[in-house]
C-alpha cells in the first residue's frame, strides 16, 4: 500500500515490543510471529501512538538521527508499508 507522510498509524493490539541491546524485538501475539529489527526501526515503532502522522514521527527521529528528511520519510513510508502488510501496524487516518 502507498503510505503518505500525512498518514497516522497505530500498533495492532496484539503487538508487543522491546529492545535487546541495539536491536528491537516485535512479537505478534496472535500468531506468535517474531521480528528482530534494527535500532531506528524499533525507535520508529516505539514512537507510534495512533496520534502523530508519519511526517511528525520523521521530525522526532530527525532529532535523534542524522539523516536527510526526504530520505527518512521515504524509508519510513516503505518500512511502514511492510509493517502494515505484516499485521504489525494499521492505518488510523486519513
Partner 1 sequence: MSSFAAKMRQTWDQNILFSVLLELTYNCNLDCSFCYNEKGIQGKPLSREQYLELFQDLKSMSVFNLILSGGEPLAHKDFFFLGSKAREMGFVIRIKSNGHALHPATAKRLKEEVDPFSIEISLHGACAKTHDKQTRVPGSFVQLVKNLRTLKTLGIRFQLNSVLTRWNENEIADMYNLAEKFEVPLKFDSQVTPRDNGDQSPLEIAPSAQKLRELLQIQHNFREQTKADKAAQTATPRSYCGAGASTIAIDPVGNVFPCVQWRRKLGNLHRDKIRQIWENNAILTSIRQVNEEARKNILAQGEKVSRGAFCPGVADLMTGDASTIYPSVLLRSKLYEDILNRSGTDEKLTTE
CB of 44 to partner 1, least distance (A): 15
Q: Nearest approach, Cβ of 46 to partner 1 (angstroms)?
A: 10
In DSSP notation, 8-57 reads EEEE-TTEEEEEETTEEEEEETTTTEEEEE-HHHHHHHHH--SSSBHHHH
Which positions ≥6 away from 51 have C-beta within 8 Å? 8
Q: How far is the CB of 48 from partner 1 (least distance, A)?
A: 12
What's the DSSP call for residue 5?
T
> What is the footprint of partner 1 within residues 11-40 (CB under 8 A)?
13-14, 16-21, 23, 25, 27, 29, 32, 34, 36-38
Residue 27 vs 62, nearer CB to partner 1? 27
CA torsion, points 38, 40, 41, 47, in degrees to nearest 10? Answer: 140
Between 29 and 85, name the residue whose CB sits nearer to partner 1.
Answer: 29
Which residues contact partner 1 (rule: CB under 8 A)? 13-14, 16-21, 23, 25, 27, 29, 32, 34, 36-38
Amino acid at each position: 500500500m502507498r503510505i503518505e507522510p500525512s498518514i497516522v498509524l497505530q500498533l495492532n493490539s496484539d503487538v508487543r515490543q522491546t529492545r535487546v541491546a541495539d536491536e528491537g524485538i516485535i512479537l505478534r501475539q496472535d500468531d506468535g510471529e517474531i521480528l528482530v529489527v534494527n535500532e531506528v526501526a524499533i525507535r520508529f515503532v516505539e514512537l507510534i501512538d495512533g496520534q502523530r502522522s508519519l511526517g511528525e514521527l520523521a521530525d522526532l527521529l530527525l532529532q535523534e538521527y542524522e539523516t536527510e528528511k526526504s530520505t527518512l520519510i521515504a524509508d519510513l513510508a516503505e518500512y511502514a508499508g511492510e509493517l502494515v502488510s505484516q499485521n504489525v501496524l494499521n492505518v488510523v487516518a486519513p
